[in-house]
Structure 1
Amino acid sequence: MSTGVVRVGLLGLGTVGGGVIKTIRSQQEKLASRLGKRIEIVKALVRDSEKERAVHLDRSVLTTDFEDVLKSDVDIVVEVMGGVEPTYDYVRALIEKGCHVVTANKELLAKRGTELVDLANRHQVHLAYEASVAGGIPILGVLRQFLRTNDISGVRGILNGTTNFILTKMEQEQLSYQEVLKQAQELGYAEADPRSDVEGFDAMYKLYILAQLVYGESLPLAEVNRKGIADLTAGQIRIAGELGYRIKLIAQAEQTGEGIRLSVEPTMLPLSHPLAQIQDAFNAVQLSGNIVGDLLFTGRGAGELPTASAVVEDLAYLLTQPFTPHPVWKEREGGAETTQETEAKSFCYVEGTGPAATPDRVLHFLRLAGVEVHKLKVQFDLGGVLRAGLITTGFTDEHSDLLRSDFGLQVRCFPLLGSVE
C-alpha cells in the first residue's frame, strides 16, 4: 500500500458509485486523520466514459476496460456495478491479484459468495460487504459482535425499501398496487423492471447473507420460500387494517430442530409489532438473542448516501484491521420443511360471489372442518361480492381448495407473526 495514500478502484459509477465519491470527498479530512492515509480514486470502470455525471472525475480516471483497473496498482476496489456476470470474473481476478474488495452486491454474494469467501481466504485479502444488506444499517457488523456471546435464534426484517414504500402507500392512500408502483418508479424507488424488488428476490439475497453470518450456512436460493407483493390488493390491506393488523414483506431466518428455514413473504403483523411501525422506504432488522433478547435496528435501506455510507465504513474498517480469515460460507440442501403447521395462525382473505358464499355458511364449514376462527371482518359491495378477512388456526391448503370448489371463493392466506390481538 502506497505510503500516505490508499489507491482505490471503482467498478461502477451509478447512483451508489457517485455517492461513494461524494462521501469520500466530504469526509476526506476526517478519514485522513483517523486512517493516517488519504483515499484517492485512481480508476473507475464505467460503461460510457463520455456520459455526463452528477460527480466529476478527471477523464484519465475513467475507463471502459476492466484490464485498466487490474493494471492500475490499486490497493482496494469498491464494486458497485451490480449483477453476477461479468462482475464475478472481475472480483475473482482482483482477489487473485491480492486486492481487497468492498462490495454492495447482494445478488453476487448470494449466488457466488461461497466461492468468493473461499478465494479471499486463500489469498488472505478482505472481502467486505456491509453495504449489501439493509443499506446504511450496520447490521452485519452488529452480528459479528453479538455472535461472540449470544446465540441468535431468529432474524427477521423488512429488507427492501421499495416494497415497504408500496405497501405503505397502498394502505395510507387506498390505492392499487399498479398505481403505487408507478409512483415508486417516478420517485426513483423502483426500477423500470421492478421484479427483483416486488417478487422478493432482492430481500431473499439479503436474507441468504444474513443466514450465512448467523448460522454459518444458508439454503440454496431455490429452497427459500419466496413470495412477492404484486398480487396484493387494496381490499386485502384494508381488511387487515380493520382487524388490527398490517401486511409487510417479511424476510425471516430461523433455526428449527430440522434445520434452518428461510422465507420471504407478505406477512400479517399486529399493529403493535415493532416491524409494523416501519413505514415508507425504511428497512428494519430484528434479532432474537438468547441473552440480550429482541433488538430492532432501523434506517434507510437504499439510496445513494445510506449505501455509500456503508461502503466507505467498510473501506475505513479494512484499512485499520489486519486480515483474519472469513468464516467459511456453506450451503445445506434440505433445510426445514415449509409445510403448513396446523397450529399456526394465519390471515385468510376470501372473495367471491354466489348463493353459497355467505359468512354463515363459510363459518359453519370451517367449524366442521376443525378450523378455529379468532376474528372475522366481513364486507359486501353493491354487486353482492363477499369480501371477508379471517384470523384462523388450523387453516390448510385443503380448506382453501374446498372454499374454491364448493363456495366459489378465491382465497389468499398470509402467515401471522405475533399473537392474536
Structure 2
Amino acid sequence: MNKIADEVKEMSADVVKVGLLGLGTVGGGVIKTIRSQQEKLTSRLGKRIEIVKALVRDSEKQRAVSLDRSVLTTDFDEVLQSDVDIVVEVMGGVEPTYEYVRALIEKGCHVVTANKELLAKKGTELVDLANRHHVHLAYEASVAGGIPILGVLRQFLRTNDITGVRGILNGTTNFILTKMETEQQSYHDVLKQAQELGYAEADPRSDVEGFDAMYKLYILAQLVYGESLPLEEVNRRGIADLTAGQIRMASELGYRIKLIAQAHRRGDGIRLSVEPTALPTSHPLAQIQDAFNAVQLSGNIVGDLLFTGRGAGELPTASAVVEDLAYLLTQPFIPHPAWKEREAATSSKEEVEGHSLCYLEGSGPAATPDQVLHFLRRAGVSVHKLKVQFDLGGVLRAGLITSGLEQEHADLLTSDFGLQVRCFPLLGDA
C-alpha cells in the first residue's frame, strides 16, 4: 500500500524538464546524480527532474550512462525549440557555447553552467542578459568543483567584508607539485603521470599555465568585490618551468610551493594574481595535497575560513550542478549584482612587496655565496635566510629568503654572476 501511495505521489509531482548541453564526464555525472537522488529531490522539491533533451556531438557514441535515443540530438535548435524549463551547460569552451546560452536566456530559460572560461570571458554580458530576461544564471560548479564556495560567499557577504580570497583552484597543478616534492621527480615525468591518470588533458596548457585558475579567480572577484580586472591584466604565471631542485630547496628552507590564486584590494583598486607561491609548511594551504582544491576567505567579522575538497571530476562537479538545479527550483528570481571590469589602479610594472624565496643556480667564477651576498647587501636587499648547496661539478645552488629584491637585481645576478634566478612570493610569515 505504501509503495502504491509513493508511486502516486511521485507521478502527481510537477515535472521539471531539463536540457543538457554536453554529455561528457560531467554531463554523465549529472545524470547519475539526478537518478541516484531522484527520490530525495522529488520529496524535498516537490518536483521530479527529467532530462528531456541532451545535445551531443555524436548520437551513436557508446556512453557510461544510457538515455533514450529520442532525448539525444546533435542539433541545438531542437533543444531551443523544446519545452525545457532549465538547461545545464557542461560542454565547455566559449564558441559556440556563448551563442547557445545567449539564445536560451533570451527565450526565458534558466541556465546552470560549470563553464568558468565562458563566465570569465562573457560573464558581464550574460549576467546583464539574464537580469533583463528575469532568469537565473547559476554557476556554482564553475569554481572549485564540489566545494560550495560561491554559496558560502553569498551568505557571508551579508554581514562580512571579505578582505581577501586565496586558494588552490586547480587540482591538476596541485597533484603535479605534490608528486614533484614527495617523489622528487621532474615536472615532465609527473605531467605524464597526471595525463595517464586523467587529471591532465592531452593539451595541459589551460591547467599548467594558470588559465584555469585565473578564470575561477575572476569569478570569485566579481562575487566578492563586484568587479574584476580584464583577464589580460591578471598577473598569471604557471608551473611548467619549475624544477625539482627549486621545490627541494624550498622544502629545506621550510616552505612548500603551490600555485596560489589571490584577489585582494590595493588602494582604490583590486589585484588578481595566479602564480607559484612559497608557503610555510605550517600554512593551511600548504597542507592541501594531491588533486584537492582549497579556498581561504578572510572576513572582517568571521576571520579566516578554509574550505577544501575535490575540485574537479565527474561527481564533485555534478554535485554542484544539481545543487544549483535544486536552488533554482526553490528560490524566486532575484536580479544578480551586475558584473563589472575596470583597469588596474597601479602601473603595469609589477611591484615587489614583502618577502620572497629566491632560487639561484650557476657555475660562473663570480657565483660564490660571499660575492652574491655582498652584492645584495650593497643593493639594499635584505637576506633573512640562506641555504647553500654545491654539487661535484662546482655548481652553486642557493635558496634565499629576501625582502626588497627587484627584477633589476635578478637581471644583474644573471648578467654579472652567471646565475639563473627564480623568485617566488611568500604567503605567510617569513
TM range (shorter): over 0.9
CA displacement at 1:71 relative to structure 2: 1.1
**What secondary structure sits across from 1:53 in the alignment?**
coil
User: What is the aligned partner in structure 1 of residue 7 from structure 2?
Assistant: none
Secondary structure at the residue paired with 1:379?
strand
The Cα shift of 1:383 comes to: 1.2
After superposition, give the CA deviation of every residue in 1:262-315 in whole Å (9 maximum; x if it has no partner): 000000000011100000000000001011111100000000000000000000
Aligned partners of 1:157 and 1:250 also within 8 Å: yes
**Contact map agreement 1:341 1:394 (CA 8 A) in 2:** no
Task: Tell me which of 43, 50, 56 is aligned to 2:60.
Answer: 50
> Gapped runs of 5+ residues in structure 2?
1-11
Structure 1 unaligned segments of length 5 or more: list them.
none
Could you tell me whether the CA contact under 8 Å between 1:153 and 1:289 is conserved in 2? yes
TM-score normalised to the size of structure 2?
A: 0.96
Is 1:382 the equivalent of 2:392?
yes
Counterpart of 1:99 in structure 2 is 109
Shift of 1:335: 3.5
Shift in CA distance, 121/346, structure 1 to aligned 2, threshold 3 Å? same
Q: Is the 8 A contact 1:286 1:297 kept in 2?
A: yes
Paired letter, 2:42? A
SS at match of 1:318: helix
2:178–2:290 contact (8 Å) kept in structure 1:
yes
Write the distance in 1 (CA, Å) between the matches of 2:298 and 2:87. 34
Question: Which deviations, in whole Å up to 9, do the C-alpha atoms of 1:219-263 show, x marking residues without a partner?
Answer: 000000000000000000000000000000000000111410000
Alignment pair present for 1:233 and 2:238: no
In structure 1, what is the Cα distance between the partners aligned to 2:349 and 2:290? 32
**SS of 2:146 mapped into structure 1:** coil
Determine the C-alpha separation between the residues in 2 that align with 1:340 and 1:84: 30
Match in the other structure for 2:162:
152
Residue 371 of structure 1 aligns with an amino acid whose one-letter code is V
Does structure 2 retain, via aligned residues, the 8 Å contact 1:268–1:347? yes
- Amino acid of the structure 2 residue aligned with 1:55: V
**CA 1:122–1:3 in structure 2 vs 1: closer, same or farther (change >3 Å)?**
farther
Contact 1:204–1:224 (CA under 8 A) maintained in structure 2: yes
| Secondary structure class of the residue paired with 2:380 | coil
**What is the correspondence of 1:398-409 to structure 2 with a 5 Å cutoff?**
398-409=408-419
Structure-2 change in CA distance of 1:130 and 1:342 (3 Å): closer
Distance 1:338 1:164 in 2: 28
Aligned equivalent of 2:207, options 197, 201, 225: 197
Question: Is the counterpart of residue 320 in structure 1 residue 330 in structure 2?
Answer: yes
Of all paired residues, the percent bearing the same amino acid is 87
| TM-superposed deviation, 1:364 | 1.1
Runs of 4+, deviation exceeding 3 Å: 335-343
Q: CA contact under 8 A between 1:219 and 1:335: conserved in structure 2? A: no
Which residue in the other structure is 2:4 paired with? none
1:212 aligned to 2:222? Answer: yes
Please state how far the C-alpha of 1:370 moved relative to its aligned partner.
1.1
Q: TM-score, normalised by structure 1?
A: 0.98
Matches within 5 A, 1:303-342: 303-337=313-347, 339-341=349-351
Contact 1:225 / 1:338 at 8 angstroms: preserved in 2?
no
Judge conservation of contact 1:248–1:268 (CA < 8 Å) in 2: yes
Asked if 1:272 is matched to 2:252, the reply is no
The Cα offsets for residues 382-406 of structure 1, whole Å up to 9 and x where unpaired, read as: 2111111100011001110110111
1:126 equivalent to 2:136? Answer yes
The 2-side partners of 1:112 and 1:35 are apart by 31
1:59 aligns with 2:46: no
Instruction: Work out whether residues 258 and 278 of structure 2, in 8 Å CA contact, stay in contact via their aligned partners in 1.
Output: yes
1:252 maps onto 2:262 in alignment:
yes
**d(CA) in 2 for partners of 1:77 and 1:126?**
11
* RMSD, aligned α-carbons: 1.1
**2:127 aligned with 1:117, yes or no?**
yes
Q: CA deviation at 1:342?
A: 5.1
2:296 corresponding residue in structure 1: 286
AA in 1 matched with 2:68:
D
Correspondence for 1:172: 182
Q: What is the aligned length?
A: 419
The one of 321, 337, 349 equivalent to 2:359 is 349
Task: Provide the secondary structure at the position in 2 that maps to 1:175.
Answer: coil
- Partner of 1:295: helix, strand, or coil? strand
Could you say what secondary structure the match of 1:44 adopts? strand
State yes or no: 1:369 paired with 2:379. Answer: yes
Choose the corresponding residue for 2:16, options 6, 30, 50: 6
